Structure 1
Amino acid sequence: MSTVALITARGLLGRRRALLLLPLPLLLIGLAAICRANNLSPDQWGQAVIVGLGFAVVLPVVALIVGTGVLGSEVDDGTLVHILTKPLPRRDIILAKFGVAVLVTAITTTLPLFAVGLLAGSAELGIALAVAAVAGSIAYSALFVLLSLLTRRPVLLGLVYILVWEGLLGRFLSGTRVLSIEQYVITIADKLSPTDILPSQVGITTAIVMSAVFAVVCTVIAINRLGSFSLAGETS
């Protein structure tokens, strides 16, 4: 399992795709720093930067890049079947790749969000944003790893979820927020550091339970789906 994780990390971070992880976090910190340098109150820029950019764009897009990258290339070039010929439980393969996706996403997003919290004048807010980003990294990674096994266009479907489900429907139809990871993240951060900057619209119990449901259900389905790849490889 550790070998699979190491190979996955090397393959993910050794490609040009890894460079795509840097611009958005740097933009997030840069905008917050500019607002702080101009002595703007966090009430004036906090929601736009933290929620509008950090939680709505940076976190899910980074998770999408990483989550679809840990398996996507192996599905596309056919090497996944070769990996499945190794004497490894399908569960271990998925958990290793899921773990790498969560770790890379969390590191890439928690540090800039913590920095933004500090720039907003509160270490407590920075910690809350970082913890919420970890929760979001787990849920988003599980979803996007699963998508990479369900379709050949995981990035496209991931963007539909981020932009349409969370970005459009989630802002106008209250019922869709129950299945919005972005809303869970906002609620968790707001619970840890209550502030008007974070407009939470679901309960904390819903946020925690549904984050866990996304992580567990998507991972279980991914393990089962990987088993079907194995069967296809053995019968071809």
Structure 2
Amino acid sequence: MRIFGGGLTVGSVYKLALRQLSGRWRLLITLLLTALPVIMGITWRLIEGDRFPDNDFQDLALNGMLAGVIIPLVTLAISSAAFSNEIEDRTLANLTLSPIPRWKIVVPKLLGALTVSGAFLVTSAFITSYIAFSGDLDAVLAVTAGAAISVALYSSLFVWTGLMTTRAIGYGLLYIFLWEGLFAGLVSGVRFLSLRHYSLTVMHRLDDRLFSTSEFLSTGVVTGAAVTVFVIFLALSIRRLRRMDVP
């Protein structure tokens, strides 16, 4: 791995992360996945005309496809790879032996993952909601904000997972489909520990005309929980990088 001239800095690690996570095939697959809800929104508008989306569209396209599958899968594929190249190539020492604090390595890596995945996912959420809700700004803002929060939370989780194990994709898939998809959907008490539920709560609370429901947590509770989860996994990633054995 080549370190940028002038020494390792936060900026150089961030640029390195962007370059590593922007492979042609990874971006192509991401583009195809994030295009699916947009296509569904266009299809809905062509079929239904000016009628606002009903609960079936919200459950299928927004809650199910976008929040339940596409966002976690894309962030898993990108964020878990933030350190994988260095770990697999045994070049992580080039980063960890540099005389800079570990947080100055983890934070730009996380920001790189957020930049790459967020550029596609947040844009997809914005376009889908803009088309489906005929440009209703409150609905568009609610869906886009929920997607952005979901990307941030999943990214912090999966960057840490990628540092913990070389099987991050496998464990991540189990988490997405078993915990988020099955248990959190069937057991109401588990939803407090569901990242997907946090993002959906933000969406529902930001636009109480279209999305409001009593099943979701309060705004204050979910905001505090989301910030706490993000900070915890960021701190765990920094701690892991400090303590892991680097070949």
CA shift for structure 1 position 155: 0.9
Question: Which one is further off, 207-216 or 80-89?
Answer: 80-89
State the SS of the aligned residue for 1:110: helix
- Distance apart, 1:63 and its partner CA: 1.0
Aligned partner of 2:236 among 213, 221, 224: 221
| Alignment match, 1:149 | 163
How many residues get paired?
232
What secondary structure does 2:208 align onto? Answer: coil
Query: Which residue identity is paired with 1:194?
Result: D
Task: Could you tell me which runs of 5 or more consecutive residues in structure 2 were left unpaired when the two chains were aligned.
Answer: 1-9
Question: C-alpha displacement at 1:124, in angstroms?
Answer: 1.7
Aligned to 1:184: 198
Q: 1:151-195: per-residue Cα shift (whole Å, max 9, x none)? A: 111111111111110100011111211111110001101111124
Q: Note the 1:1-236 alignment, pairs <5 A.
A: 1-39=10-48, 41=51, 42-43=53-54, 44-121=56-133, 122-197=136-211, 201-229=216-244, 232-233=245-246
Conserved? CA contact 2:78–2:117, under 8 Å: yes
More helix, by proportion: 1
Q: Per-residue deviation at 1:88?
A: 2.2
> Matched residues in 1 for 2:129 and 2:24: separation?
31
| C-alpha deviation, 1:73, in angstroms | 2.3
Asked whether the equivalents of residues 128 and 189 of structure 1 are also in contact (C-alpha less than 8 Å), the reply is: yes
TM-score normalised per structure 2: 0.88
Per-residue CA deviations over 1:51-80 (Å, capped at 9, x if unaligned) read 111111111111111111211222222111
1-structure distance, mates of 2:99, 2:28: 33
Q: Structure 1 length normalisation: TM-score?
A: 0.92
Percent of counterpart pairs with the same letter? 26
What is the Cα deviation at residue 196 of structure 1? 4.7
Q: Which amino acid aligns with 2:42?
A: A
Distance in structure 2 (CA, Å) of the matches to 1:228 and 1:140: 23
Contact 2:38 2:124 in 1 (8 A): yes
Report which stretch shifted further, 68-77 or 49-58: 68-77
How far 1:94 moved relative to its partner? 0.2
CA-CA distance at 1:48 after TM superposition = 1.0
**Displacement after TM superposition at 1:32 (Å):** 1.2
CA distance in 2, matches of 1:191, 1:70: 32
CA distance in 2, matches of 1:15, 1:85: 30
The unaligned stretches of length 5 or more in structure 1 are: none
